[in-house]
């Protein structure tokens, strides 16, 4: 993730390791990109900028190309702004919600935890990271998973974790979707408008 973050020029994870890498080496990977190296950073074309934004979003949420294109297609069929729809679809993935609630330290960890069936949605076990959460759904750690090592410092972490306004913490092992993310909740390190332009060429 550190190398991907350097390639995109932004931290794609809030993990301490990635943040330290970006602090030490904010330039792209490769010896020629290092300070004093020979290669100059090329000025991106419009297409290049659009592609970079798409890559940022894909890597941030851990989504492969085919699935990402499906998100775009769905976003354009929905009512409203396609760029906002795309960002909202990515934000309301179950693995991202688990991360936003503070149950996981990173999105990749959240994706793995969901795949290992550690969570329920409205009391039913769900092991699909791309599951789209809905308003009023409750996401909870399964009772038989709560003593797992990955959760041993959860209470301490949650005490310092800020949950976005569209979610609410419902005790130390559960959270609820109270609304769909809007406005500031949809702002991330990528520009969804450029992504829509990329696929609309």
Compute the mean pLDDT over every residue in the chain, rounded to the nearest whole number. Answer: 90
Which CATH code, of 3.60.110.10, 3.40.50.2300, 3.40.1360.10, 3.10.290.10, is assigned to 93-179? 3.10.290.10
**Residue 140: closest CA among 126, 153, 161, 155:** 126
For the segment 140-147, the average pLDDT, to the nearest whole number, is 97
In angstroms, how far is CA 88 from the centroid of its own chain? 11
Structure pTM? Answer: 0.81
Structure confidence at residue 24 as a pLDDT band (50, 70, 90): confident
pLDDT at residue 41 above 70?
Answer: no
CB atoms within 10 A of CB 86: 26
pLDDT tens track for 57-90: 999 999 999 999 999 999 999 999 999 999 999 9
Alpha-carbon distance of 120 to 125, in angstroms, equals: 4
- Location of structure tokens 């306004």: 165
Name the segment(s) of the chain with CATH classification 3.10.290.10.
93-179
In angstroms, how far is CA 195 from the centroid of its own chain? 16
The pLDDT assigned to 36 comes to 60
The pLDDT assigned to 92 comes to 98
CATH 3.40.720.10 fits 46-91+189-201, yes or no: no
Q: Which two tokens stand for residue 5?
A: 């973050």
Q: Are 11 and 4 in contact (CB under 8 A)?
A: no
Residues 6+ apart with CB under 8 A from 200: none
The pLDDT assigned to 15 comes to 61
For the segment 119-125, the average pLDDT, to the nearest whole number, is 98
Name the segment(s) of the chain with CATH classification 1.10.1050.10.
46-91+189-201
């Amino acid at each position: 993730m550190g190398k991907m973050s350097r390639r995109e020029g932004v931290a794609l994870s809030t993990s301490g390791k990635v943040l330290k890498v970006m602090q030490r080496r904010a330039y792209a990977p490769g010896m020629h990109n290092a300070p004093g190296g020979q290669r100059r950073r090329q000025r991106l074309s419009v297409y290049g900028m659009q592609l970079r934004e798409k890559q940022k979003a894909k890597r941030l949420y851990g989504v492969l190309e085919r699935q990402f294109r499906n998100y775009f297609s769905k976003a354009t069929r929905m009512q409203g702004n396609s760029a906002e729809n795309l960002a909202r679809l990515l934000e309301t993935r179950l693995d991202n919600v688990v991360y936003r609630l503070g149950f996981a330290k990173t999105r990749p960890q959240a994706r793995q935890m969901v795949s290992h069936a550690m969570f329920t949605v409205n009391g039913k076990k769900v092991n699909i990271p791309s599951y789209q959460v809905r308003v009023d759904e409750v996401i909870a750690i399964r009772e038989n998973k709560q003593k797992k090592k990955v959760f041993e410092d959860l209470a301490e972490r949650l005490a310092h974790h800020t949950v976005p306004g569209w979610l609410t913490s419902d005790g130390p092992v559960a959270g609820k979707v109270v609304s769909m993310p809007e406005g500031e909740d949809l702002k991330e390190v990528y520009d969804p408008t450029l992504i829509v332009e990329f696929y609309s060429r």
